Amino acid sequence: GDDYVAKFRQQSAWASYSLNSAKWEFAFAGSLKNQTFWRDGKTQNGKFPDNSYGESEKNNFLLPSGKGLIRYKIDGRNYITVSGMISEMAPTFRNAYVSPRTRDSVVDGLEAEQLNLAEVRYDLRAPSLKLSLSGFYIQSKNAIESTSFYHDDLRTFVNFSLTKINKEYTGVEAAAEYKVTPSVSVQGAAVIGQYIYTSRPNATVTQDNDGSVLLENITVYAQNLYVSGTPQTAFTGGVTYRSKKFWSLFLNVNTFQESWINFNPLRRTSAAVENVEYQSEQWNDILRQEKVEPGWTLDLSFYKSWRVNWPKSRTTFGLNIGVTNLLNNTDYINGGYEQYRFDYTNKDVTTFPTKYSYMQGLNYFVQGSMKF
């Protein structure tokens, strides 16, 4: 078995400044964080007697960050905002350690992840129309990922670490709400983005039961592959009705597009396509990243409030009922990953098929509230 405690210690200091005038708004902030984490093993592993029990060496990161915002108020309804942030983040405990359940060995080249963000935004706040348009850019550099799995070619359970992972997120967002009548309004929102890997990470494979390095500095050809875990393009549109008798009804249609399956890094190495004909169907099957078919849902919600004089005067009771995926669409794949296992003998991608997760069917909730 295994028994360990992940310990963290953190100190931080920050400062901010803001200025708001009739036409301009400025806001700036900075922080400095000192973060330390280490493993405290509570049981001694017979295979790693020297680095499994007791407190490990401490991993220390000094993490500066800063952000700023400049807003120009064209008039009382129109605003233009430019904002940005630069930051450093320590790797997570799980990604920092090769195999925390067995030993305190950390990934080679452990360093802070760098994050840069910029956004330009336009806002309109008129009595009957609210509108927001923005463009964003996010850059992540030097991220680390660690996992464990059975390696069929090496015939052993291994620890797998990826370093030097760079990603880039770019896109535009828009949202609008138009009041058709005092009771009826329509809303819409959209995000159109591209989230990709911009580097060729390095992979290291170690044997789990003795810690020996099996593969080192393996180049993973992940550059320009897509980041998984979220639709990169999504749209929503809806109608809201607000009654004078203190109840409201909301109806929304949502669509999800440009979703990608999380890829197996080992299938994007030279070893995976060794002795496979270049640009053949098999070659493309090994390297191609799978794209998910678009999906959509219909959501409905209702809210009603009452004002009463119990237990105090002017007490408000509220009832909120929501139904998501009203049409019970369970065919949409909302996530998935290629297995890290790979058939190196036949180079057949179907030997260990992709794992998928599907959208839940109809869901509902009922919520009551009281304010006094």
pLDDT in tens, 291-322: 999 999 999 999 999 988 888 888 999 999 99
Whether 98 contacts 160, CB under 8 Å = no
The Cα–Cα gap between 318 and 297 comes to 26
Element spanning 356, H or E: strand 355-358
Mean pLDDT of 351-364: 95
Whether 40 contacts 5, CB under 8 Å = yes
The pLDDT value given to residue 231: 95
Whether 14 contacts 29, CB under 8 Å = yes
The pLDDT value given to residue 308: 85
Residue 165 has pLDDT above 90, yes or no: yes
Residue 164 has pLDDT above 80, yes or no: yes
The pLDDT value given to residue 153: 80
Residue 150 has pLDDT above 80, yes or no: yes
pLDDT tens for 98-142 read 999 999 999 998 999 999 999 999 999 999 999 999 999 999 999
Element spanning 255, H or E: strand 247-257
The pLDDT value given to residue 314: 84
The Cα–Cα gap between 365 and 372 comes to 23
The pLDDT value given to residue 2: 84
Strands 233-242 and 213-219: unpaired
pLDDT tens for 267-295 read 999 999 999 999 999 999 999 999 999 99
**Mean pLDDT (the chain, rounded):** 95
> How many residues make up the chain in this entry?
372
222: left (phi over 0), alpha (psi -120 to 50) or beta: alpha
List Cβ neighbours of 292 (8 Å cut-off, separation of 6 or more): 259, 260, 261, 332, 333, 336
Whether 296 contacts 254, CB under 8 Å = yes
Whether 126 contacts 138, CB under 8 Å = no
Residue 154 has pLDDT above 90, yes or no: no
Q: Helices marked H in the chain — which ranges?
A: 93-96, 281-287
Strands 247-257 and 184-197: unpaired
The pLDDT value given to residue 45: 92
Residue 151 has pLDDT above 90, yes or no: no
Q: pLDDT grade, residue 336 (50/70/90)?
A: very high
Percentage of residues in the chain with pLDDT exceeding 70?
100
Residue 1 has pLDDT above 80, yes or no: no
The pLDDT value given to residue 131: 97
List, in sequence order, every residue forming a beta bridge with 249; answer none if it has no partner. 241, 302
Q: pLDDT grade, residue 255 (50/70/90)?
A: very high
Ranking 140-144, 203-207, 309-313, 323-327 by mean pLDDT, the lowest is: 309-313
Q: pLDDT grade, residue 53 (50/70/90)?
A: very high
Q: Which of 128, 134, 229 is nearest to 187 (CA)?
A: 128
Residue 332 has pLDDT above 80, yes or no: yes
